[in-house]
Amino acid sequence: MTILLKLFGELREKVKSQKDTSGAPITLTIEKKGIKTVSDILKKFGIEESETSHIFVDGIYSGFGKLVNDGDRVAIFPKRMCLLYKWYFNKVEND
Partner 1 sequence: MPKKILRVDMSKLEVKFEDFPSEYAALGGRGLTSTIVSKEVPPDCHPLGPNNKLVFAPGIVTGSAAPTSGRISVGGKSPLTGGIKEANAGTSFSQLLGRLRIAAIIIEGLKKDKDYYLLKVTNDGAELINANKWSGIGLYKAYEQLRKEFGEKVAISGTGIAGELLGAGSGVCFNDLEGLPSRYAGRGGLGAVMASKGLKFIVVDETGAPGVEIADQEIFRAGTKKLRDALMSHDVTKPGGALASYGTDVLINIINEAQGLPQRNFSAGQDDRSANVSGEKKAEEIKKRGGTRPHPCSPGCVIQCSEIWTKPGGKDPVGVLEYESVWSLGPNCSIYDLDDVGELNRACNDLGLDTIEAGDTIAVAMEGGLIEFGDAKGALKLMDEIRKKTATGRILANGTAFTGRAFGVTRVPVVKGQSMPAYDPRAIKGIGVTYATTPMGADHTAGYAIATEIMGVGGQADPRDPKKSELSRNLQLATAVVDSTGYCLFTAFAVLDIPEGLEGMVESVNGVLGANLTVDDIGKIGMQIIEIELEFNRKAGFTKKHDRLPEFLRKEPSPPSNEVFDVPDDELDKVFGA
Toward partner 1, which CB reaches closer, 28 or 81?
A: 81
Q: 1, 17, 18, 21: which one contacts partner 1 (CB under 8 A)?
A: 21
Distance CA 74, CA 56 (A): 6
Q: State yes or no: residue 18 binds partner 1 (CB under 8 A).
A: no
| Interface size with partner 1, residues (CB under 8 A) | 29
62 burial via Cβ count (<10 Å: 0-12, 13-18, 19+): buried
Q: 37, 41, 42, 56: which one contacts partner 1 (CB under 8 A)?
A: 56
Q: State yes or no: residue 77 binds partner 1 (CB under 8 A).
A: yes
Residue ranges of E strands in the chain: 2-7, 26-31, 52-57, 60-61, 73-78
Binding site for partner 1 (CB under 8 A): 6, 8-9, 21-25, 53-54, 56, 58-59, 61, 75, 77, 79-90, 92
